[in-house]
Amino acid sequence: MGPAQVVRAIVRRSLFAARWRYWYYIAAYAFARRLIQVDPRQVAFLSDSRGELTGNLADLRDEIARQSPSTRVVPVLRASGRGLRSLRQALGLPAVMARSRVIVLDDFYPMIYHVTLRPETELGQVWHAVGAFKRVGHSRAGLPGGPVPGSRIHRNYTWATASAEGVRADVAESFGIPRTRVHALGVPRTDAFFDTDAVAATRARVRARFGVAAGSKIVLFAPTFRGHGERTAHYDASWVDWAGLVRDLAPEWTLVVKMHPFVGSLAPEARVPGLIDVTDEREMTELLIAADALVTDYSSSIFEAALLRRPIVFFAPDLDEYTVSRDFYRPFERYLIGPVVAESRGLAAAIRSATMDDDVLAPFLAEFASACDGRSTRRITERLILAGAPIGGER
């Protein structure tokens, strides 16, 4: 472990050091809230994991504009939580937070957990993932990379959303908040799955963009990362014989690979002819719509693929190690709505033969995604984001 890693480990274990890291924002916000009144028609969208408004936040922005045109959405975004913010963003962010009636997140946002928000401001979390699969947040307490005792992360949410009534307790545990603050209203970006015309158009558009041959089906290989977070994220590409997999699947299938954003693109030696690396695509939604099958491991994309009725293959060569280091909300077997493969040589056959059993799918979706019905964005906007906003003629 190098000096930088040692310093980060010390900071992570020290609640005082973690709070001191954000001293500027704590002080600047405390000053700004004394000078700036809350604007009842301003909503802020904050993200340290995307450089542009996409996914849940883009859908919510559009719905807010539809339901309440006079409400102003102010996004403050950056593509990665690593490094310092720009001077302009650092100066402007405390004022945006102080003026906003609602602040909406869709991912981990470490700075805001150390800021004491004014009572008039709501902090909402529309987590980017569906269901409850690998443990996150306070559910990782005691596990490697989990929060230290007394950690403030997530605990100050006014409200959070969940994809189903069956996972409300899991979401509450992961955020360290009462279950009453968690609302089973769905996941905005899954609304696109229920628009038949949009699904057909998206499939055609994605296939054309990546040059997938006519008549070839797409298998999307999309694993989650290993490691404790963005700075330590990795994936062992040597687990897969990429050239052999492309060869064994062709010409019926085209292999499309999307690594987790924390990991980055495949190593050069893995980028074999016939493989399409789409890791630079920020969102999974359109890729899942275009796919005819999904290969993943412990990623919440299984719930989205299930909503789309796409066959799933679980490629889990490190299941025992991952269970010890990260673990799951349910026993791993509860998630297996498709075959599980531990070695690369079994992947091609599993992909070709994978199907989706409706008798297995129905209870799975009822437990993990019952609130995802094509109307999630409207419900969250109406019942949470705009619930306390002034009522004007536009509503």
The domains of the chain are located at 3-187+375-385, 192-368
- Taking the C-alpha atoms of residue 59 and residue 377, their distance in angstroms, rounded to an integer, is 7
Query: Rounded mean pLDDT of the chain?
Result: 92
- Taking the C-alpha atoms of residue 291 and residue 217, their distance in angstroms, rounded to an integer, is 7
Q: Show the tokens assigned to 319.
A: 């299941």
Q: How confident is the model at residue 366, as a pLDDT?
A: 98
Identical fold, 3-187+375-385 and 192-368: yes
State what percent of residues in the chain have pLDDT above 90.
Answer: 81
* pLDDT of 328 strictly over 70: yes
Of the pLDDT bands very low, low, confident and very high (cuts 50, 70, 90), residue 395 is very low
The 10s digit of each residue's pLDDT in 331-371 is 999 999 999 999 999 999 999 999 999 999 999 999 999 99
CA angle 176, 85, 151 (to 5 degrees): 20
The H or E element spanning position 366 is helix 358-368
- Taking the C-alpha atoms of residue 86 and residue 216, their distance in angstroms, rounded to an integer, is 45
The 10s digit of each residue's pLDDT in 284-323 is 999 999 999 999 999 999 999 999 999 999 999 999 999 9
The 10s digit of each residue's pLDDT in 70-109 is 999 999 999 876 777 888 899 999 999 999 999 999 999 9
> Domain spanning 192-368: which superfamily?
CDP-glycerol glycerophosphotransferase, C-terminal domain (3.40.50.12580)
User: Closest Cα to residue 307, out of 176, 192, 185, 175?
Assistant: 192
* pLDDT of 12 strictly over 50: yes
State what percent of residues in the chain have pLDDT above 70.
Answer: 94
The 10s digit of each residue's pLDDT in 168-207 is 999 999 999 999 999 999 999 999 999 999 999 999 999 9
What mean pLDDT comes out for the span 246-263?
Answer: 94
The 10s digit of each residue's pLDDT in 46-67 is 999 888 999 999 999 999 999 9
* pLDDT of 35 strictly over 60: yes
Q: How many CB atoms lie within 10 A of CB 111?
A: 18
Give the bridge partners for 294, in sequence order: 220, 312
Lowest mean per-residue pLDDT among 116-120, 132-136, 272-276: 272-276
> Domain spanning 3-187+375-385: which superfamily?
CDP-glycerol glycerophosphotransferase, N-terminal domain (3.40.50.11820)
Per-residue b or e along 119-153, where b marks 16 or more CB atoms closer than 10 Å to that residue's CB: eebbbbbbbbbbbbbbbbbbbbeeeeebbeeebbb
Of the pLDDT bands very low, low, confident and very high (cuts 50, 70, 90), residue 391 is low
* Bond before 110 cis per omega within 30 degrees: no
Burial group, residue 299, by CB count within 10 angstroms (0-12, 13-18, 19+): buried
